[in-house]
Structure 1
């Protein structure tokens, strides 16, 4: 496992996140030496969705109102259907995602989490993937969709589903090691 000690990684999630898509990247990032912070809309804990029912909960370290992109090296967005759908309706969550992009820091989104990237207007003219049911959403937002286990476009990391978690987590570690990315901004 590649070492990224001292890296600070934010995971933005709320109730209904896909259990494996938060817990597995968190585990692999921590094993690689990163400090991982769970950020959500409210304090307390958030509950996962585990295949067909509610699953394990995890404590929230910080609410998004108090979080700043400048305190972190990268952002991870777990999927599930409910989690990103709730988050994309919250301006403060969308603004948090945009701040990472504007700073050139890696953003990793899996499954339905690219919905947040769409809401933040970050996928136009970018190579991305996501869960098969959001393919049309991504294409309609101007993305170039690829059906691959992990797709990276200048620090923007996307994957399709829990079966891609090892490749997804490895790519997050690789991109964190690379650091800040200079991204071409869209013309106004």
Structure 2
């Protein structure tokens, strides 16, 4: 079973994090919620607290097959500031492993130079942080191993795109129908 690590930092966007975790688990994918804060309880941008499964330092990244970053502020900036996470992102990208980020979080990839000449999308106003990217403004965009999403309103579509990449378009479409969501 694929193991996807969804990373939480203080100030994460709750709708994005919970929607992604929920949709991936509905698709019978293994999701590990990872706190980069040093505490299992992480507070979102709207003061909702979520308990992570593991602390960053306790994760064996050799067992993780995809990294996902929910957005929100200051959550995205806090993810960007975490040197260990940046190192893992670079390692995953170097090995062609899938990466996903939504809302403001694609700035983490942009600041690492991973979006050069690649189509990407983000929350309006963060385009300048996606260094070298071809900004599309689409709800969800995929360029090679990197999936980006625009914001909270498309979190389910973003998660279904991840499901599509792992389990195929048919599985993503069926799950979307069960959830009464139009899949791209």
TM value normalised by structure 2: 0.85
Q: Take 1:66 and 1:103, find their aligned partners in 2: how far apart are those partners? A: 22
Residue 68 of structure 1: CA displacement?
Answer: 3.8
* 1:13-54 deviation digits (Å, cap 9, x = unpaired): 11110000100010000000011111122132101123xxx1
After TM superposition, list the pairs within 5 Å mapping 1:1-188 onto structure 2: 6-41=1-36, 42-50=38-46, 54-55=47-48, 57-138=49-130, 141-177=131-167
Q: Unmatched 5+ residue regions in structure 2?
A: 169-184
Q: Take 1:88 and 1:165, find their aligned partners in 2: how far apart are those partners? A: 20
Q: Take 1:152 and 1:13, find their aligned partners in 2: how far apart are those partners? A: 22
Deviating 4+ runs (over 4 angstroms): none
Q: Take 1:40 and 1:59, find their aligned partners in 2: how far apart are those partners? A: 8
Q: Which secondary structure does the structure 2 equivalent of 1:131 belong to?
A: coil
TM value normalised by structure 1: 0.83
* 1:78-106 deviation digits (Å, cap 9, x = unpaired): 00011110121121111121122122121
RMSD: 1.4
Structure 1 partner of 2:173: none
Residue 74 of structure 1: CA displacement?
Answer: 1.1
Is the CA contact (8 Å cut-off) linking 1:155 and 1:175 kept in structure 2? no
Higher mean displacement: 17-26 or 81-90: 81-90
Q: Take 1:118 and 1:49, find their aligned partners in 2: how far apart are those partners? A: 22
Is the CA contact (8 Å cut-off) linking 2:40 and 2:55 kept in structure 1? no
Q: Take 2:167 and 2:65, find their aligned partners in 1: how far apart are those partners? A: 10
